[in-house]
Amino acid sequence: MNSQRIFVAGSRGMVGSAIIRQLEQDQTCEIITTSKQELDLCNQASVNTFFKQNKVDQIYLAAARVGGIGANSQYPADFIYQNLMIQNNIIHAAHCNDVQKLLFLGSSCIYPKLAQQPIAEAALLTGYLEPTNEPYAIAKIAGIKMCESYNRQYGRDYRSVMPTNLYGIHDNFHPQNSHVVPALIRRIHEAKVANLDDVAIWGTGLPLREFLYVDDMAEACVHIQNLEFSVYQQHITPMMSHINIGTNEEVSILQLAHVIKDVVGYKGQLIFDSTQPDGTPRKLLNSQKLNKLGWNFKIGLKQGLKITYDWFIENENQLRQV
């Protein structure tokens, strides 16, 4: 088999670095990466030039502007603009430079706020989105439809996956802009170090969420990308081609916080601030389509949180802060 030159966009982030770790297990892969300083993915001309200069066989489009409820609420324009520009530039440049295979990574926030649970792929565009992250969700929906459109018009093999809530090593532990797992790990850890009696946590603790360790997600992405087209095609339609990636398991934010408290070894109290937003009340993906395609998760929640916390401790002084 000829070596595959694979470009991982967003290779420095949690998701992209996990995909690289997975791809490195295949000796036939030649992995191509760039930094933000080397290539501005929001610059169309620069992206076009990059693909002209670098012969690429496959793309994993993991680059994105991401963040939690706070960041999405504070920077809605940045979230919709940057994500649209990144994916538009990469997908179009891939087509123009005859890259046949691409995997686009979306987000479970593409689904309606009150979608029937567990959420199947067919729920897309059947209801209103969660307002706190609507700009980000709309960008991701546009990415799915862009892949489908290039497939329909040009016969490309551009696939889309919708991971559930991800966490793991190389996550963003920013005190304001991070997602729930790294935010809780950092907050509870700092309370432990400061010997505080209690920790305040946003919301009621009642929302239900599904969490997937990032290396499991990366394994699922490579599994989907490598499926024979005839097999993949049996499970999608031209206008509903994305596949969910999840565990089919859920926990409340309250339960999650207590598991993290146990992993961190914090002895104080957790106090939930009901004046802060909860977000979507429940979000569990139906991942049966992926299960039928031969993939299931391996790393349980407590095990994954322990790996993540150990990495956080080892890298606390060098953590990404944006």
pLDDT digits (tens, 9 = 90+) for 196-210: 999 999 899 999 999
* Domain contains 266: no
* Domain contains 307: no
pLDDT at site 177: 66
pTM, whole model, 2 decimals?
0.92
pLDDT digits (tens, 9 = 90+) for 172-184: 887 776 788 999 9
pLDDT at site 196: 96
Output 313 or 69, whichever has higher pLDDT: 313
* Domain contains 22: yes
Please state which of the ranges 14-18, 201-205, 219-223, 314-318 shows the lowest mean pLDDT. 314-318
pLDDT at site 319: 67
Domain that holds residue 62: 4-172+210-248+284-299
Kindly report the CATH number assigned to the domain that includes residue 31: 3.40.50.720
Residue 211's Cβ-side half-sphere holds a number of Cα atoms within 13 Å equal to 26
Tally the domains of the chain: 1
Residue 279: alpha-carbon gap to chain centroid: 17
Query: Which residues are CB-neighbours of 228 under 8 A, at least 6 positions away?
Result: none
Q: Which helix (H) or strand (E) holds 263?
A: helix 253-264
* Domain contains 58: yes
Q: What is the mean pLDDT of residues 238-263?
A: 96
Please state which of the ranges 31-35, 175-179, 235-239, 304-308 shows the lowest mean pLDDT. 175-179
Secondary structure (3-state) at 170: coil
* Domain contains 64: yes
* Domain contains 179: no
Q: Residue 172: name the closest of 66, 263, 62, 42 by CA.
A: 66
Output 3 or 76, whichever has higher pLDDT: 76
Q: Let me know: does 305 contact 139? Beta carbons within 8 Å.
A: no
Q: What is the mean pLDDT of residues 261-271?
A: 97
pLDDT at site 71: 74
Q: Is the pLDDT of residue 320 over 60?
A: no
* Domain contains 145: yes
Q: Is the pLDDT of residue 1 over 70?
A: no
Residue 304: alpha-carbon gap to chain centroid: 16
Q: What is the mean pLDDT of residues 211-221?
A: 98
Tell me the binding residues.
10-16, 105-108, 140, 163-166, 179, 187, 202, 209, 278
Q: Which residues are catalytic?
A: 136
Q: What is the mean pLDDT of residues 198-225?
A: 96
DSSP string, 34-80: --TTT--TT-HHHHHHHHHHS--SEEEE-------HHHHHH-HHHHH
* Domain contains 190: no
Tell me the binding residues for NADP(+).
10-16, 105-108, 140, 163-166, 179
